[in-house]
Amino acid sequence: MRDFCRSVEVGRLVGLWRYPVKSMAAEPLDQVDVSWFGLAGDRRWAFLRDRVMGSGFPWLTIREVGPMQHYRPKLKDPGKPDGCQIVVQTPGGRVLAVDDPELAAELGPGVCAIKQNRGVFDTFPLSLITTQTISSLSTQVGFDLHVQRFRPNFLVQVDGNEAYPEDAWLGRVLRIGSMRFRVDKRDGRCVVITVDPETSQRQNTILRTVAQERQGCLGVYGTPVEPGMVSLYDRVFLEVWR
């Protein structure tokens, strides 16, 4: 008997974000085109730390500058996200071009901006977490956790109350809107999740709990297998082979 594929609805997309500048604030979206290189305009710019060009990880991030996430980037021409200019509103209210030397100077001595057309990703171009996962971890640490601690592209509300449901999707394909992507890997977490997105204060118990209870992982990474359009509140389907 030949195998065939059917799609099973597993939830709904309730949060959609891109990060035009790595480690700066999220840009919430109602709709976005997803290419082979991730969400249009996602992490196309980053800032380099001083004197680390030979490093395997030269990027300036929330690890080094917690308040970096209070800088709010925005695409000036959303219709042409990979070719247009990005402007950044600083915590002080100034609006500067992403490559303005004054912006780099605010972030630290010797810092400079760089553009990467294929995106500056830690591992894979797409990231997803479920509301159930955030709720389950919140219960474990004893306080509510803001979704932006985890900086996902997709926040999915899954049917049912199973904790950490996205773990079961590893190696499978999800469809959201007209886009399909393979769930490749659990998302290994670092100190970034300890930084409160509103206050920049650090709460180390979060990472400690993830390390002890979740093998250091929370949420999943993925790779597009069919580019397409994704909209907020799209239904999410899991492809099942028989």
* Confidence at 6, pLDDT banded by 50, 70, 90: confident
Report whether pLDDT(82) > 60. Answer: no
Residue spans of beta strands (DSSP E) within the chain: 5-18, 27-28, 31-35, 38-39, 45-48, 72-75, 86-89, 95-97, 112-115, 126-130, 154-158, 173-176, 179-188, 217-226, 228-231, 235-241
User: Cα 10 from chain centroid?
Assistant: 21
Report whether pLDDT(57) > 80. Answer: no
Residue 213 to residue 226: CA distance in whole angstroms: 34
CATH number of the domain that 157 lies in?
2.40.33.20
Report whether pLDDT(17) > 50. Answer: yes
State pLDDT tens for residues 197-213.
999 999 999 999 999 99
User: Which range among 1-10, 172-181, 207-216 shows the weakest confidence by mean pLDDT?
Assistant: 1-10
Residue 197 to residue 19: CA distance in whole angstroms: 14
The count of C-alpha atoms lying within 13 angstroms of the C-alpha of 67, restricted to the half-sphere facing its C-beta, is: 7
State pLDDT tens for residues 154-171.
999 998 888 999 999 999
> What is the structure's pLDDT at 1?
42
The angle formed by the CA atoms of residues 108, 114 and 119, to the nearest 5 degrees, is 120
Average pLDDT over residues 65-79: 86
Among residues 182, 193, 181, the alpha carbon closest in space to that of 217 is found at 193
Residue 72 to residue 56: CA distance in whole angstroms: 26
Average pLDDT over residues 4-10: 86
Domain count for the chain: 1
What domain range is 84 assigned to? 5-241
Burial class (CB in 10 A: 0-12, 13-18, 19+), 81: buried
Report whether pLDDT(52) > 70. Answer: no
Average pLDDT over residues 51-70: 81
> What is the structure's pLDDT at 85?
82
* Confidence at 5, pLDDT banded by 50, 70, 90: confident
DSSP assigned state of 149: G
State pLDDT tens for residues 220-233.
999 999 999 999 99
Averaged pLDDT of the chain: 91
Report whether pLDDT(145) > 60. Answer: yes
Among residues 25, 16, 17, 20, the alpha carbon closest in space to that of 197 is found at 25
Report whether pLDDT(55) > 90. Answer: no
Q: pLDDT above 70 covers what percent of the chain? A: 93
> What is the structure's pLDDT at 76?
79
Residue 140 to residue 74: CA distance in whole angstroms: 35
Decide: 82 and 40 in contact? Cβ < 8 Å: yes
Q: pLDDT above 90 covers what percent of the chain? A: 78
> What is the structure's pLDDT at 233?
98
